[in-house]
A and B are shown apart, each in its own frame.
Chain A
Amino acid sequence: MILLTEAQANAIRGETSPGHRLDPVQVVEGWVLPETVLDDPAHALLASTLRAFPRVEKVSPLSVEVE
């Protein structure tokens, strides 16, 4: 996972190309994106920015899954 601060998440959230958007998800440790966004051509304009953020193996979700 790519780990972001709230300010970083707010800065990159939104449409990156038609039909594609980034929307960082809040977790206990901050905000995250899947690393697959790094190789998605839809987000190419932000690729270098995204690659500069730290990565983590595991994060803790804010809520327990519910049915």
Chain B
Amino acid sequence: MRQVTGLRRNGRLLAESKAIANSFTTAPTSHRQTLIDTAVRNLKGAGIWQTLDLLYLLAAADSQAARINWVNPSANTLTEVNSPTFNADRGFTGDGATMGLNTTKTPVNAQQNNVHLAAVALTHGTSSNADVSMANGATTTRCQVRARNLTSSLIRVSNSSTNVSATTGANVPVMVLGNRVDSANQSIYINGVADGTGAATSSAISGMTQFCVLYNNLSTPLYSDRQIAFASSGGALTGAQIAAYYTIINAYLAAVGAV
């Protein structure tokens, strides 16, 4: 995939990039606007953008910009629940007990046998709970990513009870992505590289309308204590797309100083 860098030809921004910038209460700097446009162009070029339902670059200049859904800036802005800690150009940190962010979204591109969920953690924390999840606000979680705790990363996509842990893993900062392309297996990717696959028969996710960062919105919620810089959900990605996704997101996070 060709990476687009620097100013756009003719200095024009994509309509999607303009929409993101226009949704920020405090307008982004021209440098940040270029970074946003570069990321969006590369995501579209890799065929990733078209698969996304939700995309949050939480490592933003301010908390309002951090909560914007890049895929559709007028919908699914995250709500801060119980004041998670925001650090500019890093993201949100939970306390492992009460804090998080959420939105209500019926999965569209994400389907039972065609789904991904991803997060970037900047700190290890100690919590064993998920950093990003899709639940129903009651008793069921069918998609979750624990980017990293003191020992390992794990994912669950489209099933109610079986997780897959990373075989090798990596220390923070780390991008962890759970992916499912069929009814039989789910796979975990660490920094864009496949790092484990496990058998788990899929279950429907159409009712998993609670997309949460830093917690899992169950009848008794479970909370994370990590710092999360990025989160996304959508349809399944190919191995090449996942590698490209990591490259694009990591380049953005590096440019703003998050990693």
What residues make up the interface of A, taking CB atoms closer than 8 Å to B? 1, 15, 19-23, 25-26, 32-34, 36-37, 40, 42-43, 61-63, 65-67
Contact = CB atoms under 8 A, between A and B. Distances in A.
A36 to B, nearest CB: 5
Contact of B220 (A20, A40, A63): A63
B163 A65 contact: no
A63 B97 CA distance: 11
Interface in B91-107: 95, 97-99
Interface stretch (B53-61, B77-85, B176-184, B203-211): B77-85
Given A62-B220, A65-B127, A67-B146, A25 B83 contact: no
Specify which of A22, A37, A65 lies most central, judged by the most chain B CB atoms within 10 Å of its CB: A65
Interface in B203-243: 220-222
24 contacts: A1-B97, A1-B98, A19-B67, A19-B77, A19-B78, A19-B80, A20-B79, A21-B79, A21-B81, A22-B82, A23-B81, A23-B82, A26-B220, A32-B98, A34-B98, A36-B95, A37-B83, A42-B80, A65-B127, A65-B129, A66-B222, A67-B128, A67-B154, A67-B163
B64 interface: yes
Contacts, number: 60
Nearest to B154: A67
Contacts of A25: 82, 97-98, 221
Interface of B: 64, 67, 77-83, 85, 95, 97-99, 127-129, 146, 154, 163, 220-222
Nearest to B127: A65
A15 B102 CA distance: 12
Given A1-B97, A21-B80, A25-B98, 16 more contacts: A15-B79, A19-B77, A19-B78, A21-B81, A23-B81, A26-B220, A34-B95, A34-B97, A34-B99, A36-B95, A36-B99, A37-B82, A42-B80, A42-B83, A61-B97, A63-B220
Contacts of B67: 19
Contact of A36 (B85, B129, B154, B163): B85
